[in-house]
Amino acid sequence: MHNINYIRENPVEFDNFMKTRGENPIANKIIEIDKVKRETQTVLQNLLAERNQISKSIGQLRSQKKDTTEEMEKVEDIKNKVNTLKELETLKDDELKSILSRLPNIPDSSTPIGADESENVFYRDWGNKPAFNFNPKLHFEIGENANSMNFETATKLSGSRFVILKGQLSKLERALANFMIDKHTLVNGYVEMHVPYLVKEGTLYGTGQLPKFADDLFTAGDDHWLIPTAEIPLTALHSNEILNTNQLPMRVTSYTPCFRSEAGAAGKDTRGMLRQHQFTKVELVSLVEPAQSKDELERMLSCAEGILQDLDLHYRVMTLCTGDMGFNANKTYDIEVWLPGEDQYREISSCSNCGDFQARRMNTRYKDNDKNVHIHTLNGSGLAVGRTLIAILENYQMSDGNVQIPQVLKKYFDYQNTLF
C-alpha cells in the first residue's frame, strides 16, 4: 500500500513511477478522493463538536426547567447530517483503498526501466554449462524413461499440471528440501518455521496477493485460501504488531507445498514439471529496518545462489526491469538455472525487496526511539525444489539414461553415485 502523503506531495513523480509499471496516471484521482474524504472528516468533527455543545446547553436548560424544543431539533438535524457524512466518509475511504490496493510498488532507483523480460539486465553468473557427447534429454524424458515420473496417473487423479514422483525421484525431492533447509538454518542464519497451508483473506490482502490476483489462487471456502508460496504466512507472522529493534533483522524459512491456478499460463510449459498447480519450495523471508533492506536483498540473493553453487549448477542472475517485476517488489533479482535439455535458462528463484509496501498493508511496525516505523520486508526462493530437481536431471544426466547424484546430496542416498 502506498503512502498517501507521498502521493499528495509528489503527484507527477508518482504517476511517472506507475507508468513504468504499466499503470495509467492516477494521482489526481487519488488526491481528489482523499480531499473529499478529509473535508468530510473536518465537517464531521465540527458537527460533533457543535452537537456536544448543544447537548450541554440542553442539560443547563432542563436544570432551569426551560423549553429545549429548539435545541432538540438542532441535535436531531445534526444527527441526520452526521449519518449522511459518515456514509460519504466510508464510501470515499473504500474507494481510496480499492484504488491503492491494486497499484504496484514504486520501483527502487536502481531497478532498470523496461517494458518486459526482454529488457531485464544481466547482473552476474556462476559456473559453466556442462558439455555432453550426446544430445541431452529433457527432464520429463529422463523421469518417464526411468519409470519415476508419472503425468498420466496424476492427470487421472487431479487433472493437468500435476505429477507423481516415484522411488528415487521422490527421494531426490525430499533430499533437496532437507539440504536447502539445513543450509539456510545451520549456515545462513534463518529460523525454520512450519506454517499453515491455508490462510485467511486478510492475510493475502496484507501481503499483496488480494484483491488483484484472486484468479491466480485456489480458494478453499469459508474465508480460507491455499497459499501460493510460504512468503504469505511467513511475511504476515507479525501483522498488526509493533516489534522491538532487538527482534530485527528477523530471518525465517519454510518448506511448503505451493498452490497456483496458473490462470495466465494457458499453453505455456504444458509438458513436464516446470509449471504446476502444486509444487514445493523453500522460502526465505526477512523483516528488517528500512536502512538495512538493500544490503539484506544482496545477502538473501547470495544465500539462494549458494544452494546452486553447492550443487554445482550453472546459473545467471538477472535484475528485473519495471515491466517484469512482481506487484509487491521495488527491486527483484531472478536466478535462472541452465537447463541443457531445453538449451535455455529458466527461473529457479526470485529475490525481492518490497520496502514498506507490504508492511503498510499489514500494519507491521517497529519501535524506532519514540516513533513506530513500518518495517521493510523481503522474500526469495531458496529454492524452488521441483525446478532444482529438473536442473539436476538435465545437468547430471548420463548417456545410458541414468543420473549422477551431486556430491552434497550423496549422504541422503547412502553415498551411491547414481540415481537409478
In angstroms, the CA 230 to CA 354 distance is: 16
Residue whose cell numbers read 545437468: 395
Q: Are the C-beta atoms of 181 and 382 separated by less than 8 Å?
A: no
In angstroms, the CA 351 to CA 394 distance is: 24
Query: Is 350 marked active-site?
Result: yes
Q: Are the C-beta atoms of 89 and 34 separated by less than 8 Å?
A: no
| CA distances to 148, 272, 387, 399 from 142, in Å | 9, 11, 14, 11
Catalytic residue among 161, 293, 387, 394: 387
298 contact partners, CB below 8 Å, separation of at least 6? none
Query: Is 275 marked active-site?
Result: yes
Cell of 30: 487519488
Fill in the DSSP letter of residue 404.
Answer: B
Q: Which residues face 351 on adjacent strands?
A: 333, 380
Q: Are the C-beta atoms of 383 and 308 separated by less than 8 Å?
A: yes
Query: Is 38 marked active-site?
Result: no
Per-residue buried b or exposed e for 232-258, using 16+ beta carbons within 10 Å of the residue's own CB: bbbbbebbeeebeeeebbbbbbbbbeb
Cell of 15: 504517476
84 contact partners, CB below 8 Å, separation of at least 6? none
**Helix, strand, coil content of the chain in percent (nearest 5):** 45, 20, 35
Catalytic residue among 174, 275, 289, 316: 275
DSSP letters spanning 290-311: GGGHHHHHHHHHHHHHHHHHHT
Catalytic residue among 254, 350, 352, 381: 350
Torsion angle (degrees, nearest 10) of CA 91, 92, 98, 102: 170
Query: Is 102 marked active-site?
Result: no
Catalytic residue among 161, 251, 260, 361: 260
Query: Is 349 marked active-site?
Result: no
Could you list the active site residues? 260, 275, 347, 350, 387
